[in-house]
């Protein structure tokens, strides 16, 4: 009987040892990093990187979602590990994700986010009593806040139609809305039909910033894949700068835009390189995103989109751009 107990103990010992070996052969850093974006020229450098072979699909998987709303939902439900969002949306996520980290700045909008209106609306004051379609996100609320401030109107003066970006074109062309706060490729499609731009992000410079966010736990589990994603972005930017025509030809089919439309769209975007990212994500640099985050936090708190102002210093990390 004692011999049997020894045999059982030996069996269980080797069984546990084999499980540990299997676990060691499948480390977390070999997991796939799931990256979610909505359709937007400012995120297309990632898809360009994939098309050019700069992204290894064994370690990084890009997932295109229909809207910012879907991206936020997927991140909250742990369906993606990295989300492409605007700074204000990052602040919104930080309310429920205390270990949220901004690790890469993708683009800065300088006219790319627009209020597009019907031709009978000639000035901002004409928006009074009109229906404006806008996505129910922090970005939508922030653009609406600045728009109404510029128009000297209040929320009570307009009719808000909550609609995701994939619904914007339909809302305008069917006459459901008089105006829409949107961006490319929808914006270019509407402008080509004769609609007009009455307000855009160039009037609130350096405030609409798109970033990649993840959680500290993902950073600890998949640092190699995150580094590879950032490296692919630098390669993609270098390719676009050296071969713009070729890059645009690869991008336009995904966005259903012409090369001229895409080229114009990029004139209204800044795509920060490695050096600029180092400045933007540093907490000690005068060019840091910290002042912008503080202002956005104040506005979102005042309009009751967030219940408390997050700790800004904990949000930024320059670990992957150094």
Query: pLDDT tens digits for the chain (322 residues)?
Result: 455 454 555 444 444 444 444 444 444 445 999 999 999 999 999 999 999 999 999 999 999 999 999 999 999 999 999 999 999 899 999 999 989 999 999 999 999 999 999 999 999 999 999 999 999 888 888 899 999 999 999 999 999 999 999 999 999 999 999 999 999 999 999 999 999 999 999 999 888 999 999 999 999 999 999 999 999 999 999 999 999 999 999 999 999 899 999 999 999 999 999 999 999 999 777 789 998 999 889 888 888 888 888 888 789 999 999 9
Whether residue 145 is contained in a domain is answered as: yes
Distances (CA, A) of 308 to 96, 213, 298, 316: 11, 20, 9, 18
Instruction: Based on the fold, state whether residues 79 and 223 are members of the same structural domain.
Output: yes
Instruction: Based on the fold, state whether residues 216 and 285 are members of the same structural domain.
Output: yes
Instruction: Based on the fold, state whether residues 306 and 228 are members of the same structural domain.
Output: yes
What is the pLDDT, as a whole number, of residue 9? Answer: 52
Whether residue 172 is contained in a domain is answered as: yes
Whether residue 157 is contained in a domain is answered as: yes
Predicted structure pTM score: 0.83
Whether residue 11 is contained in a domain is answered as: no
Of 203, 235, 252, the residue at which a domain comes to its end is 203
DSSP3 helix / strand / coil % (the chain, rounded to 5): 50, 20, 30
Helices marked H in 77-193 — which ranges?
A: 87-94, 138-151, 165-173, 186-192
What CATH number is given to the structural domain containing 222? 3.40.190.10
d(CA 209, CA 203): 14
What is the pLDDT, as a whole number, of residue 310? Answer: 81
Of 203, 222, 238, the residue at which a domain comes to its end is 203
Q: Which of 229, 147, 186 is nearest to 39 (CA)?
A: 186
Look at residue 310 and give its three-state secondary structure: coil
Instruction: Based on the fold, state whether residues 215 and 194 are members of the same structural domain.
Output: no
Look at residue 142 and give its three-state secondary structure: helix
d(CA 170, CA 132): 13
251 contacts 47 by C-beta, under 8 angstroms: yes
Whether residue 119 is contained in a domain is answered as: yes
**Can you give the length of the chain in residues?**
322
Instruction: Based on the fold, state whether residues 83 and 181 are members of the same structural domain.
Output: no
Which DSSP category does 249 fall into? H
Instruction: Based on the fold, state whether residues 189 and 216 are members of the same structural domain.
Output: no
Instruction: Based on the fold, state whether residues 175 and 290 are members of the same structural domain.
Output: no
Instruction: Based on the fold, state whether residues 170 and 90 are members of the same structural domain.
Output: no
Look at residue 302 and give its three-state secondary structure: helix
For β-strands 159-162 and 82-86, DSSP reports them as unpaired
Domain count, the chain: 2
Instruction: Based on the fold, state whether residues 72 and 93 are members of the same structural domain.
Output: yes
Instruction: Based on the fold, state whether residues 50 and 167 are members of the same structural domain.
Output: no
Whether residue 159 is contained in a domain is answered as: yes
Instruction: Based on the fold, state whether residues 141 and 275 are members of the same structural domain.
Output: no
What is the pLDDT, as a whole number, of residue 266? Answer: 96
For β-strands 33-38 and 82-86, DSSP reports them as parallel
Distances (CA, A) of 21 to 8, 15, 25, 120: 20, 10, 6, 70
Report pLDDT digits (tens) over 206-256.
889 999 999 999 999 999 999 999 999 999 999 999 999 999 999 999 998
Whether residue 90 is contained in a domain is answered as: yes
Domain with 251, as residue range(s), is 28-108+208-314
For β-strands 60-65 and 196-200, DSSP reports them as unpaired
Q: Which residues contact 140 (CB under 8 A, 6 or more apart)?
A: 134, 181
Instruction: Based on the fold, state whether residues 196 and 233 are members of the same structural domain.
Output: no
Of 169, 203, 237, the residue at which a domain comes to its end is 203
What is the pLDDT, as a whole number, of residue 157? Answer: 97
Whether residue 1 is contained in a domain is answered as: no
d(CA 73, CA 89): 11
């Amino acid at each position: 009987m004692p011999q049997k107990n020894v045999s059982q103990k030996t069996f269980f010992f080797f069984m546990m040892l084999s499980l540990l070996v299997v676990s060691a052969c499948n480390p977390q850093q070999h997991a796939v990093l799931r990256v979610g974006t909505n359709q937007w020229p400012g995120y297309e450098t990632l898809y360009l990187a994939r098309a050019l072979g700069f992204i290894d699909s064994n370690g990084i998987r890009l997932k295109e979602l229909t809207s910012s709303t879907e991206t936020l939902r997927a991140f909250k439900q742990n369906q993606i590990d990295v989300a492409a969002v605007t700074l204000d949306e990052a602040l919104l996520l930080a309310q429920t994700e205390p270990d949220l980290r901004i690790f890469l700045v993708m683009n800065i909008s300088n006219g790319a986010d627009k209020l597009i209106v019907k031709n009978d609306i000639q000035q901002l004051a004409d928006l009074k009593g009109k229906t404006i379609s806008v996505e129910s996100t922090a970005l939508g609320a922030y653009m609406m806040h600045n728009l109404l401030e510029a128009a000297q109107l209040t929320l009570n003066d307009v009719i808000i139609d909550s609609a995701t970006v994939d619904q914007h074109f339909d809302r305008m062309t069917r006459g459901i809305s008089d105006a829409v706060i949107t961006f490319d490729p929808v914006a270019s499609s509407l402008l080509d039909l004769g609609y007009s731009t009455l307000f855009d992000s160039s009037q609130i410079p350096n405030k609409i910033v798109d970033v990649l966010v993840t959680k500290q736990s993902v950073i600890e589990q998949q640092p190699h894949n995150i580094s590879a994603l950032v490296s692919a972005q630098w390669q993609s930017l270098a390719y676009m700068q050296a071969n713009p025509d070729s890059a645009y030809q690869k991008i336009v089919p995904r966005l259903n835009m012409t090369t001229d439309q895409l080229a114009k769209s990029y004139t209204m975007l800044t795509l920060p390189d490695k050096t600029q990212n180092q400045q933007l994500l540093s907490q000690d640099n005068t060019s840091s995103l910290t002042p912008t985050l503080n202002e956005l936090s104040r506005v979102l708190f005042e309009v009751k989109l967030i219940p408390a102002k997050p700790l800004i210093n904990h949000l930024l990390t320059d670990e992957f751009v150094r």
